[in-house]
């Protein structure tokens, strides 16, 4: 609220954002830099590509290959050469910093795929969904999370998986402290209401993963963190920039007034 020239109170309307669900990344962007959040909602994908870098391009090519593999039946059913071909189709070395990074990441990607394919020849787990987008209502807001694959485990449970290719994947403790993983769990629990639901972070570099189930006392504070932030975003009238080291790889860098 501000005062006008006649000293009558003037109310500033909140910025009207598109009516679409929040992701955990949206909330993290807003907490890191409100302007990054605002601009990221409107920046076209083609503008963000050049700020993603080689590691992000590597991860997308790996994900494309594994999603296709499980869509066709999984590593037991799909030959390695097809998995590698999908990876090659999705690989874009132009996003790398130089030719050395391009060569290194490409070789790492092929090794990760070969190791994963070789170590997943058992009939379990089997994919019941791939690239599954799930929505849930928390508080007064819609949220969305995506599972790379949803597996039916040998114990009968439903496991929403994400593959990570980062050098330092989260530890078990970090997963339990992460609103992103809590949101994936919330969405999976809503989507599969009668199932024993878990979520798994699988590190492609390490060839292993963490499968977790959130208890209510672990889950509720993270959900509250998301909904409180969403409450504030929906009534915000200003989205000031917060500059820092994160600006270097910001998806909205080309449009940010603080970096001009």
**pLDDT average, residue stretch 123-127:** 95
Whether 161 shows a pLDDT value over 80: the answer reads yes
Distance (Å, whole) CA 198 – CA 213 = 5
Q: Are 36 and 241 in contact (CB under 8 A)?
A: yes
C-alpha distances in angstroms, 13 versus 2, 18, 125, 146, 240?
11, 15, 51, 32, 16
Q: Give all strands of the β-sheet with 141-152 in edge-to-edge order.
A: 126-138, 141-152, 158-164, 197-203, 208-212
CA nearest to 66, candidates 2, 12, 114, 26: 114
Q: Are 69 and 60 in contact (CB under 8 A)?
A: no
- pLDDT for the residue 6: 54
Which has the higher per-residue pLDDT, 148 or 10?
A: 148
pLDDT band at 2, cuts 50/70/90?
very low
Q: Are 125 and 152 in contact (CB under 8 A)?
A: yes
**pLDDT average, residue stretch 58-87:** 98
Whether 118 shows a pLDDT value over 70: the answer reads yes
Around 89, how many Cα atoms within 13 Å sit in the side-chain half-sphere?
11
- pLDDT for the residue 258: 83
- pLDDT for the residue 252: 77
Whether 49 shows a pLDDT value over 70: the answer reads no
Q: Which residues lie below 8 Å from residue 71, measured CB to CB, with a gap of 6+?
A: 127, 130
Whether 3 shows a pLDDT value over 60: the answer reads no
Whether 39 shows a pLDDT value over 90: the answer reads no
**pLDDT average, residue stretch 58-85:** 97
DSSP string, 135-186: EEEETTEEEEEEEEEEEE-TTS-EEEEEEE--SSPPPHHHHHT-HHHHHHHH
- pLDDT for the residue 237: 87
**pLDDT average, residue stretch 127-155:** 97
- pLDDT for the residue 168: 94
Which helix (H) or strand (E) segment holds residue 203: the answer is: strand 197-203
Whether 4 shows a pLDDT value over 90: the answer reads no
Q: Is 118 exposed, middle or buried (CB count within 10 Å of its CB: 0-12, 13-18, 19+)?
A: exposed
Q: Are 183 and 162 in contact (CB under 8 A)?
A: no
Q: In degrees rounded to 5, what are phi and psi of residue 161?
A: -110, 150
Indicate the range of 15-24, 73-82, 104-113, 122-131 predicted with least confidence: 15-24
- pLDDT for the residue 1: 45
- pLDDT for the residue 48: 56
Q: Say how far residue 25 (Cα) sits from the centre of its chain.
A: 7
């Amino acid at each position: 609220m501000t005062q006008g020239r006649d000293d009558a109170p003037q109310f500033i309307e909140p910025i009207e954002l598109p009516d679409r669900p929040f992701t955990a990344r949206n909330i993290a962007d807003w907490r890191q830099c409100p302007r990054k959040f605002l601009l990221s909602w409107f920046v076209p994908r083609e503008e963000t590509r050049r700020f993603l870098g080689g590691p992000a391009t590597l991860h997308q090519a790996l994900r494309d290959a594994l999603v296709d593999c499980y869509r066709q039946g999984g590593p037991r059913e799909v030959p390695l050469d097809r998995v590698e071909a999908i990876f090659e189709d999705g690989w874009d070395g132009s996003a790398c910093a130089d030719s050395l990074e391009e060569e290194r990441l490409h070789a790492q990607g092929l090794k990760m795929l070969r190791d994963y394919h070789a170590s997943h020849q058992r009939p379990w787990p089997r994919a019941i969904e791939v690239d599954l987008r799930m929505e849930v209502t928390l508080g007064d807001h819609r949220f969305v999370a995506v599972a790379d694959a949803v597996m039916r485990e040998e114990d009968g449970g439903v496991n929403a998986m994400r593959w990570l290719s980062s050098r330092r994947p989260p530890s078990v403790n970090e997963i339990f402290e992460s609103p992103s993983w809590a949101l994936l769990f919330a969405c999976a629990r809503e989507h599969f209401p009668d199932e024993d639901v878990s979520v798994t972070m699988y590190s492609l570099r390490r060839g292993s993963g963490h499968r977790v189930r959130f208890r209510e006392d672990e889950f509720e504070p993270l959900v509250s963190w998301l909904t409180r932030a969403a409450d504030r975003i929906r009534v915000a009238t200003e989205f000031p920039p917060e500059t820092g080291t994160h600006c270097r790889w910001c998806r909205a860098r080309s449009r940010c007034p603080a970096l001009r």
